[in-house]
Amino acid sequence: MGNTANLIERQRIDAMYQKLQGIIIRRRRQELNWSQTTLCAGICAVSHLSKIEQGKAEGSPEVLRLLLQRLGVEWRDDPDFCLEASAWFEEWYDRLFSGENIEKLESALAQRQEEFQNSPFFLDWLMLTWLTTGNPPENVKDYVSVMDDRQYNLYLCMTEQFQELLHVSNRSYFLLAAGTRPLWRGDYEKAAICFQRGMDQAYREGSLRILMKCCGNLGTCYSCLNQLEKTRECYAAASRMARSLGRLKDMAIMAYNLATTELQLGLPEDALRHLLEQPWNEAVYFQKLAICYEQLGQKDKSRSALNQALTAPMTVLLDGTPGETEEIRGIFKQICELIRIRLDDANYLKNPEYGNILIACIRSMKKQLPMGFVQFHAGWLEEWYVANRQYHKAHEVLRTFFINRTK
């Protein structure tokens, strides 16, 4: 029974490879601007070539070899190469789906392009090259019919067909990807469901890095939903996972997110402790450090941190948003100026300059930056409106940003 099943599976794979060869033959023939008659002369009938190119007929290995040879395609499918290439791709797929660093994959694929492009591993090379470069291949739909399950799942992921993808795969990597789109779109409840499922599945798979990422992203969802205690729990858990995995950058990001949440909860001592435990040479890190010291009444340390915030790099602002742009840098300078005014003027809530900068700053942030970052600073605006008896506007801020807040 087992031998029969293996034979059927082998026949299915061979048929897919032959269909793939048919597509490659057609694409290469069209690139050379050859007619079917020119290509198949002395090899097979035009009608047979047409069926091979359309995947409607299986060509014999010899016919396929001769057609590819005439096109100048040196097809590689010798056993030693296939064994090595299969192991090579399995290792990279395992790294990808477990959330490991795959920064070197793009260059590795480029180095072996000629080998893989003309082999049974062409689609693995194609899909992973798309994944690492972000450049969709031309006419990729032509290959869907000959993709295996793994390749097809990546195709659905890259084309953001997540509803269909999650019907055919429950892999944590795809649940993490599926949650990212609604997160950036502002559908935080839907994103949270994906990330929670991703955490459960990553635990079953033993994919600790994806578990950490899903947990951190779930914290971001709760932050945007103003459920700050849940936010704190997620960021604290993700921070512990990052530390256990020895991922220094993730440790710094999660400590920053945790400290930011604790500032919102009115816990500057805890926030300061977490920031000092994980120093991070980022502008936003020093900005939050300045706020911690401000709230603890240590003005000199706050001013020092503020100066560092204005000169530190801004490679990432929050939640993966690229930070080093002229507009975002301008917004950040306004935020720092607001802190400076508070440090210098005890009556800042009656200072018109403070109010004007704050209103303009929040307006710009809403257009440019993630919701969680805007929410953190929106409390300053509500405080300003209340102090200046603009209660209707204060209520609008509360309704927009804090109506679901739970502590």
Domain ranges of the chain: 2-70, 79-159, 314-407
Cα–Cα separations (whole angstroms), residue 406 to 263, 357, 370: 15, 29, 20
Residue of 36 and 7 predicted with greater confidence: 36
| pLDDT on residue 165 | 96
What pLDDT digit, counting tens, does each position of 128-163 carry?
A: 999 999 999 988 998 898 899 999 999 999 999 999
CATH architecture of 2-70: Orthogonal Bundle (1.10)
Q: Convert the pLDDT of each residue in 183-236 to its tens digit.
A: 988 899 999 999 999 999 999 999 999 999 999 999 999 999 999 999 999 999
Centroid of chain to Cα 53: 37
> Rounded to whole angstroms, how far apart are CA atoms 178 and 155?
13
Q: How confident is the model at residue 319 (pLDDT cuts 50, 70, 90)?
A: very low
Q: How many CA atoms lie within 13 A of 182 on its CB side?
A: 18
Structure confidence at residue 139 (pLDDT): 84
DSSP annotation of 190: H
In the structure encoding, which two tokens stand for residue 179, read together?
């949650």
Q: How far apart are CA 304 and CA 293, in angstroms?
A: 10
pLDDT at 100 over 70: yes
| CA 271 to chain CA centroid, nearest Å | 27
Query: What average pLDDT is seen over the chain?
Result: 90
pLDDT band at 19 (very low <50, low <70, confident <90, very high): confident
Enter the tokens of residue 62: 């010899």
Q: What pLDDT was estimated at residue 3?
A: 56
Q: What is the mean pLDDT of residues 360-379?
A: 89
- Per-residue pLDDT of 168-195, as tens digits, reads 999 999 999 999 999 988 899 999 999 9
Separation CA 72–CA 68 (nearest Å): 6
- Alpha-carbon dihedral angle through residues 81, 84, 85, 86, given to the nearest 10 degrees: 120
Task: Specify the amino acid at residue 299.
Answer: K
What confidence tens digit (pLDDT) does each residue in 81-96 have? 999 999 999 999 999 9
Helix axes 208-224, 371-387, angle to 10 degrees: 30
- Which residue blocks in 134-169 are alpha helix, DSSP H? 149-158, 162-168
State residue 383's pLDDT score.
Answer: 95
Residues 256-283: what's their mean pLDDT? Answer: 96
Measured between alpha carbons, how far is 53 from 61 in angstroms, rounded to an integer? 14
Q: How far apart are CA 401 and CA 407, in angstroms?
A: 14
Looking at residues 374-396, what average pLDDT do you find?
A: 94
Q: How far apart are the first and last CA of the chain?
A: 60
User: Predicted confidence band at 5 (pLDDT cuts at 50, 70, 90)?
Assistant: very low
Of 298 and 22, the structure prediction assigns the larger pLDDT to 298
What's 137's DSSP letter? P
Euclidean distance between CA atoms 165 and 147, whole angstroms = 14
pLDDT above 80 for 42: yes
Least confident of 13-22, 195-204, 303-312: 13-22
Helix ranges (DSSP H) in 2-78: 2-31, 36-40, 46-54, 61-70
Residue with tokens 């257009």: 367
Mean pLDDT value of segment 380-402: 92
pLDDT band at residue 61 using 50, 70 and 90 as cut-offs: confident
Output the pLDDT for position 260.
Answer: 97
Q: Give me the phi and psi of 306, to 5 degrees please.
A: -65, -40
